[in-house]
Structure 1
């Protein structure tokens, strides 16, 4: 099988990410990095079951498609164009006009620059500033910038838009959060992967560079935390973070249901679910002389801590099914749907470590699903195209 014939970023990529992440954790346990010990067999079974139900979720829409002539007819139609779409649909598509999207990109970058100015320093170089960097301004800037820049790259391939992408990546990377940096970088790459004819060598080089940026960003961010001392090299730190996060999940497995839905409620509001994880699971203090610690617990952790094993497998099945639906839609529609798919897939891959505890990611999922529903509605309303 040729490399180009493989779709690297189908929803099944999440399985590969889970395997890689657990392998890194195993290396940390084998080397006893910072005295990490092997987690229980039960926890490995939880990971396996969660992954299997994710695969089942990805497969489910395909199974329905194969057994539904109506769906086959719908998805084999030519698609929605300006000529055959409803007037209200065309009005919504005005929001994707190049000038509108470009303005959104510039607004997002400007808001983040103002945010950095008001912070009075560079958060990536200071743990204290990093703790304060996720402000209300950032909460507006990031959800505006990321969809806008990916849509711009997907629909309007002008060379100077790549410069805007780099500028935006830089001003958000300064915030000090590795997840934000990687989300922008990977979303942009996946968008280009589907909308440009990239050479195999360019794809491999891009993946290598993204990996190096991820390692470097994580190392710089950790080393800037003044109240922590680290003696690990960058590669050891990557393995240790995976091992530590899996260790947190191991503890969660043995106290399933302890938070009774509190993490999910906080994730959909302005709460701090990762801080709650640190307090409930690791008994970290509520307050003190240093900023409150935020702890990740893998993609499986929050659901188990809130409701137990069955909540985890339902969550993984739903994530798999939703990703598959958005994926199938973007393959047919391309453009803005490709940008939305790139965003939700990227954040879901990041969830493998951090867990689904970010309200902004739920917003991205919602936007992607709304786009899918609107597109499907137009397909069904045009018999001539189906």
Structure 2
């Protein structure tokens, strides 16, 4: 880490939101595919949501003392073997899923739609957790190879979100467990952005029923502007879905329902999978106040997990890295991923466990 600065504290979310707005500004300024600047009300919503998120993080600092127990979760060789088996199994499942699809989803929109299966969901969930914990606790060079294999399989599915989260989570993980230099962080950051642009461009150009004339850089900025435009339009439908979006997020794994299609259908008036920023889904489901409650809770949980992982490392660092990485991606996609909520629930359970553990010691 660099001096007293903690680059990947929960406040990185605010920096990322500002960066995302600047990306959208480029799209609006150059009117890429006719995009126009959003209304002031959307900026007000984003500003208030960001402010309340900050309050959540600040509130977490009030709990630092009770959570500063030095007792760590110990991992033995048996745990390492189990995690290694889980990581290898998840890679096998991901490869099997690609085999069942019958091709490489990155190069076909139809195959990409088929690749989002229960097998893929389970393999991603298991791999993300196991590889981060292996890299955080058991620093063996062979695990880098496992990570690269999993990363390649993720990229081949055509879902840039999972690929970016894998890279981001490991970067955050290394920041706290390896004390990597600013230069390396910058290089990896450029790599992540480059992969995002490349995978996103290839995936979009491979959608058989769509025709895009934008170059990769234009598409990169257009996505930010488009998503912000969706959020801007979404505000006039505040509370329109009455929880349907949340229900779809929680049950989509079992019903094969895409929550983002609900966003597109409601806001745009036709069936289309649309992202709506981290502020969008809660606003569409339950209104403005639900959104600010969500932002406060996210800030509070990230703040508490950040406090715990700085002291206890290992499992806690891996969990924090995973949740923070997904939350950074949520800035564009919105909280419509069951896998992320699962990790958030694990995070809440960890916080409660640590609070109860420390309370028991005090009594």
Please give the TM-score of this superposition, normalised by the length of structure 1.
0.89
What per-residue deviation string (whole Å, max 9, x for no partner) do you get for residues 109-148 of structure 1?
Answer: 0000000000000000001100111111111111111000
* Alignment partner, residue 275 of structure 1: 261
Q: How far apart, in 2, do the equivalents of 1:22 and 1:177 lie?
A: 23
Q: Work out whether residues 301 and 347 of structure 2, in 8 Å CA contact, stay in contact via their aligned partners in 1.
A: no
Structure 1 stretches lacking a partner, 5+ long: 66-70, 83-92, 286-292
2:152 pairs with one of 164, 170, 175: 170
Q: Work out whether residues 326 and 372 of structure 1, in 8 Å CA contact, stay in contact via their aligned partners in 2.
A: yes
Runs (4+) of structure 1 moved beyond 6 Å? none
CA separation of 1:359/1:95 partners in 2, compared to 1, >3 Å: closer, same or farther?
Answer: farther
Q: How far apart, in 2, do the equivalents of 1:332 and 1:78 lie?
A: 7
What per-residue deviation string (whole Å, max 9, x for no partner) do you get for residues 220-251 of structure 1?
Answer: 11111111111212121111001100110011
Which structure is larger by alpha-carbon Rg, 1 or 2?
A: 1
Q: How far apart, in 2, do the equivalents of 1:96 and 1:252 lie?
A: 50
What are the equivalent positions in structure 2 for 1:207-226 lying under 5 Å apart? 207-226=189-208
Q: How far apart, in 2, do the equivalents of 1:259 and 1:197 lie?
A: 45
Q: Work out whether residues 241 and 284 of structure 2, in 8 Å CA contact, stay in contact via their aligned partners in 1.
A: yes
* Alignment partner, residue 352 of structure 1: 331
Q: Work out whether residues 36 and 244 of structure 1, in 8 Å CA contact, stay in contact via their aligned partners in 2.
A: yes
Say whether 1:303 aligns with 2:289: no
1:150 pairs with one of 132, 140, 147: 132
SS at match of 1:267: helix
What are the equivalent positions in structure 2 for 1:50-65 lying under 5 Å apart? 50-62=49-61, 64-65=62-63
SS at match of 2:336: coil
Q: Work out whether residues 112 and 137 of structure 1, in 8 Å CA contact, stay in contact via their aligned partners in 2.
A: yes
What are the equivalent positions in structure 2 for 1:190-201 lying under 5 Å apart? 190-201=172-183
Q: Work out whether residues 80 and 379 of structure 1, in 8 Å CA contact, stay in contact via their aligned partners in 2.
A: no
Q: Work out whether residues 104 and 148 of structure 1, in 8 Å CA contact, stay in contact via their aligned partners in 2.
A: yes
What per-residue deviation string (whole Å, max 9, x for no partner) do you get for residues 360-380 of structure 1?
Answer: 110111122223333443333
Query: Which range moved further: 374-383 or 334-343?
Result: 374-383
Say whether 1:330 aligns with 2:316: no
**How far 1:215 moved relative to its partner?**
1.4
What are the equivalent positions in structure 2 for 1:1-386 lying under 5 Å apart? 3-62=2-61, 64-65=62-63, 72=65, 74-80=66-72, 97-270=79-252, 271-285=257-271, 293-383=272-362
Query: Which range moved further: 205-214 or 108-117?
Result: 205-214
What per-residue deviation string (whole Å, max 9, x for no partner) do you get for residues 6-35 of structure 1?
Answer: 211100000011101111111111100000
Q: Work out whether residues 79 and 379 of structure 1, in 8 Å CA contact, stay in contact via their aligned partners in 2.
A: no
Q: Work out whether residues 248 and 281 of structure 1, in 8 Å CA contact, stay in contact via their aligned partners in 2.
A: yes
Please give the TM-score of this superposition, normalised by the length of structure 2.
0.95
RMSD of the alignment, in Å? Answer: 1.8
What per-residue deviation string (whole Å, max 9, x for no partner) do you get for residues 71-114 of structure 1?
Answer: 62x344433466xxxxxxxxxx6798100111110011000000
CA separation of 1:254/1:101 partners in 2, compared to 1, >3 Å: closer, same or farther?
Answer: same
